[in-house]
Structure 1
Amino acid sequence: MTARCAAFHALHHRARPLLLPNAWDHASAAAFAARGHQAVGTTSLGVAAAAGLPDAAAATRAESLRLARLLRPLPVLLTVDIEGGYADDPSAVADLATDLAALGVVGVNIEDGGVDGTLTPAELTAAKVAAVKAAVPELFVNARTDSWWLGVPDPLAATLHRARVYRAAGADGIFVPGVLDAETVAVLVAGIDGPLNVLYRPGGPSVGELGDLGVARVSTGSLLFRTALGAALDALDTAASGRPSRSEAPSYAEVQRLSPVSAGESFAPGRTS
């Protein structure tokens, strides 16, 4: 476990940033691993939506643990988005991190956006970070601040302040979603003493450009889940309208190969549904 955590830490200190695809189930995680990605994260929106639950409402603790257990056999380093830790009690968040680490998870995201849509006090998030690091020192704790997403006044100053507080508490990296322009990213890189994680946004800076700015990690967040849902709707509309398909879906056999076949279970290669 320690070696796996060390390998994940090392991925944040390369010339090219870590491009982290975010999965929502076994098939998506297995597909990303099959494409050669060494590390995979989870997307809280995707996990929540797939279970019929709201995101950012501290409702998916059980689902996150279940998914981590399901993904354990995959040849990939797994980091889990645990929202705000599903609790205000730092010891409860540390207990969750310990359970995840026992399943082979090498990192967690802890965010400071509260379930009421406001930023939680920086000291509370810092206490959660410190508790997790005390319980599982080798775990990569990515502290996320939602200063931009929640529209706080002067988000740059708020982000830099919170980043300093979280780093002092032991956070290994700082995640700042919602930043769109290269100039602000460069200021954040210069002002944050540690690996910076940003969210990939179509039409924004490329992964290579973000790396040139000094970004250590680029997450896809819920983008891949939403894209998959959009592709499903497009395929459905294609069937309904008879118009040409815009893309080709993976074959039944390709998807079947992503899942381990249970003992005694037969595989019908001609099946398509």
Structure 2
Amino acid sequence: MSDFRSLHRAGEPLVLPNAWDVASARMLAAAGFPAIGTTSLGVAAANGLPDGQDATGEESLRLVRRIAGLPCHVSVDIERGSVREAVAVAAAGAAGINVEDAMGPVERQVRLIRAVKREVPGLFVNARTDTHWQRGGELREALRRVRAYVDAGADGVFVPGLRAPADIAAVVRAVDVPVNVLHEPCGPTVAELAELGVRRVSTGSLLFRVALAAAVRAARAVRDGAPVDGEGLPTYAEIATGA
């Protein structure tokens, strides 16, 4: 299995799908993805917990312990996180973490990144800033924050909600580490992001939300006597045996 860091290639971005439970992780690994991430929203919602409030630490750790043996790397969304959480998921087999600043003080995030890299230097730290998630898109502030996080030792940076090609290119030029962009159905394609220099494209909660929508559509079709689209469905045996 290739080194996780080496999967972040210029011209050929790492497409990182995000799983929310053991079954989704197994299916994505079986589909040939060399690395998968976890989605904090998916893990939170599947366990009846709120997202964005650092409530999924134990659930995320349990999930990592159960999927770390899959033939792929695992990166864990630990939300705002802590050094303790980073050390724990690394010990459980995670290759990387995604840690967000929630637009808190830059100095706090810098201290966290430095402490994590000191304790687990081999863990890939993807430092997320929420300038475009919570502030409506402040490019200047995004650049200030990602530069500070890279200086603190971050291995990659992530600006969810970043959509405009010119803004994406500006972030790529601002740092010398892989830039992660969140895939959006109406946003740039993976090929277009590759041309902008993006080296990692993640799906966030997209797959989880698509799965929920498909489940509801199928239930309504059964209720209403309409045909259910069964094309491409995994078999009972594939899921039951963990294949």
What range describes the TM-score normalised by the shorter chain of this pair?
A: over 0.9
Tell me what 1:243 maps to.
226
Post-superposition offset of 1:181: 2.1
Post-superposition offset of 1:185: 1.1
> Which of 106, 116, 119 is matched with 1:122 structurally?
106
Contact 2:127 2:157 in 1 (8 A): yes
> Which of 100, 110, 128 is matched with 2:89 structurally?
100
> Which of 38, 43, 46 is matched with 1:47 structurally?
43
Matched, 1:63 2:47: no
In structure 1, runs of 5+ residues without a counterpart are 86-92, 114-118, 260-273
Tell me what 1:172 maps to.
155
Q: Kindly provide the CA deviation profile for residues 62-120 of structure 1, in whole angstroms up to 9, marking residues without a partner as x.
A: 101111111122111011000000xxxxxxx222211111111110011011xxxxx10
CA distance, structure 1, for counterparts of residue 207 and residue 230 of structure 2: 15
Post-superposition offset of 1:138: 0.7
> Which of 166, 173, 182 is matched with 2:165 structurally?
182
Contact 2:179 2:200 in 1 (8 A): yes
Task: Name the SS of the counterpart of 2:227 in structure 1.
Answer: coil
Tell me what 1:266 maps to.
none
> Which of 16, 20, 23 is matched with 2:16 structurally?
20
CA distance, structure 1, for counterparts of residue 143 and residue 166 of structure 2: 15
Contact 2:147 2:174 in 1 (8 A): no
Which protein is bigger by CA-based radius of gyration? 1
Matched, 1:109 2:98: yes
Contact 2:10 2:197 in 1 (8 A): no
Post-superposition offset of 1:54: 0.3
User: Structure 2 matches for 1:244-263, cutoff 5 A?
Assistant: 244-246=227-229, 248=231, 249-258=233-242
Bigger shift: 15-24 or 247-256?
A: 247-256
User: Structure 2 matches for 1:101-250, cutoff 5 A?
Assistant: 101-113=90-102, 119-151=103-135, 155-246=138-229, 248=231, 249-250=233-234
Give the letter for the 2:62 counterpart. R
CA distance, structure 1, for counterparts of residue 146 and residue 219 of structure 2: 44
CA distance, structure 2, for counterparts of residue 242 and residue 111 of structure 1: 45
Task: Name the SS of the counterpart of 1:170 in structure 2.
Answer: coil
Give the TM-score of the pair, scaled to structure 2.
0.95
Give the letter for the 2:84 counterpart. D
Give the letter for the 1:141 counterpart. V
Runs of 4+ in 1 over 4 A off after TM superposition: none
Post-superposition offset of 1:246: 4.2
Tell me what 1:10 maps to.
6
Give the TM-score of the pair, scaled to structure 1.
0.85
Task: Name the SS of the counterpart of 2:211 in structure 1.
Answer: helix
Task: Name the SS of the counterpart of 1:149 in structure 2.
Answer: helix
Q: Percent identity?
A: 51
CA distance, structure 2, for counterparts of residue 135 and residue 51 of structure 1: 30
Post-superposition offset of 1:140: 0.3
CA distance, structure 2, for counterparts of residue 233 and residue 251 of structure 1: 19
> Which of 70, 73, 92 is matched with 2:69 structurally?
73
